[in-house]
Amino acid sequence: MSLKHVAFRYPNGTLALKEVNLTVHHNRNVAVLGPNGGGKSTLLKLILGILKPCAGTIEVMGSPPHVACNYLGYVPQHATIRPDFPITVREIVLHGCAGNHWLGWHASGCRHCVDSVLEEMGIAALANRRFCQLSGGERQRVLIARALSGHPAILLLDEPLANVDPASRAKFQETLRGLGRRMTVLSVSHDLAFLADGVDRVVFINGGSREFDPKEVQAANVQELYRGGGGTGNE
């Protein structure tokens, strides 16, 4: 995945990102950090092809994002999802492997795939529970399972620790590290807890982008980084 000289301007004229350069190789675990309003979620939407850059190029697996969408697994912030929607865990995960059938019928083998993903994420026992009955951490696992059921090469997570209670964080991060060993994982967060072990690179986004080694960031003054981390271009 590579972003070269990417800039994005919202319709109201606000320049959200400028000169963002980022290259992520296979099976790397990258944390994108930055303050609120720094452009992290915008960057994610550009990579997903939901937004189009006003300058620069984005390539995912050698193709533009909208062509490569089948390689991408996306885990949104579950705050954006209607929690009281009448839907079970299994149904949500089935959406991840929704085929191209015009009626939305699931391909054979899809249910088996869902079962194995539910097992892998440790939520097999919740398969028939309603989404609204789950805790924040469980909901996050369900959304990851949905993304994984599409067999993505790149997993993009938006604020994955936002609703996970402190007791479950370690286990959750262990899950992400495990995923990072077999696919590219790019997590967007304002939470510096992401600087824990297992992250290969840290990218600070605050209008622009700067790449760091995780150890480098841990040693630095965090507030200083947040204030000045949005310098343009990679350094």
Partner 1 sequence: MFKSCTGAVGELGMNELFTQLFLPSGLLFFPLIVGCMGSLTFGVVGSYVTARRVTYIGTGISHAVVGGVGAAFFFQSVTGWGWLSPTVGAFAAAVVSGVIIGRVILTSGHKADSVITAVMVIGMSSGVLFLNKTPGYHDPMSMLFGDILLVSRQDLPVIALVNAGVILIGLLFYNRLLMVCFDEEFARLRGINADAYFMLLILLTALTTVVMMKIVGVIMVIALLSLPAMTGALIGRKLWHCMLAATVICAFCVILGLVVSYILDLSSGPLIVVFSGAVHLVALTVRRFWPVSRLAHGS
Binding site for partner 1 (CB under 8 A): 48-50, 69-70, 72, 74, 76, 80-82, 84-88, 91-92, 95-96, 98, 100, 103-106, 128-130, 132-133, 146, 150
Shortest reach from residue 40's CB to partner 1, in Å: 16
For residues 40 and 159, give the distance between their C-alpha atoms in angstroms, rounded to a whole number. Answer: 10
For residues 76 and 69, give the distance between their C-alpha atoms in angstroms, rounded to a whole number. Answer: 15
Pick between residue 70 and residue 218 the one whose CB is nearest to partner 1. Answer: 70
The tokens describing 24, both together, are 């992520």
Pick between residue 76 and residue 231 the one whose CB is nearest to partner 1. Answer: 76
Report which secondary-structure segment, H or E, holds 203.
strand 201-206
Pick between residue 93 and residue 199 the one whose CB is nearest to partner 1. Answer: 93
Pick between residue 74 and residue 204 the one whose CB is nearest to partner 1. Answer: 74
Pick between residue 117 and residue 199 the one whose CB is nearest to partner 1. Answer: 117
Shortest reach from residue 86's CB to partner 1, in Å: 5
Shortest reach from residue 104's CB to partner 1, in Å: 3
- Burial class of residue 27 (count of CB atoms within 10 Å of its CB; 0-12, 13-18, 19+): middle
Shortest reach from residue 55's CB to partner 1, in Å: 23
**Residues sharing a CB contact under 8 Å with residue 69, sequence separation 6 or more, in sequence order:** 48, 49
What Cα–Cα distance (Å) separates residue 71 from each residue in 7, 42, 62, 110, 127? 23, 19, 11, 17, 25
**Residues sharing a CB contact under 8 Å with residue 229, sequence separation 6 or more, in sequence order:** 33, 34, 204, 205, 206, 210
The tokens describing 171, both together, are 């286990």
Shortest reach from residue 70's CB to partner 1, in Å: 7
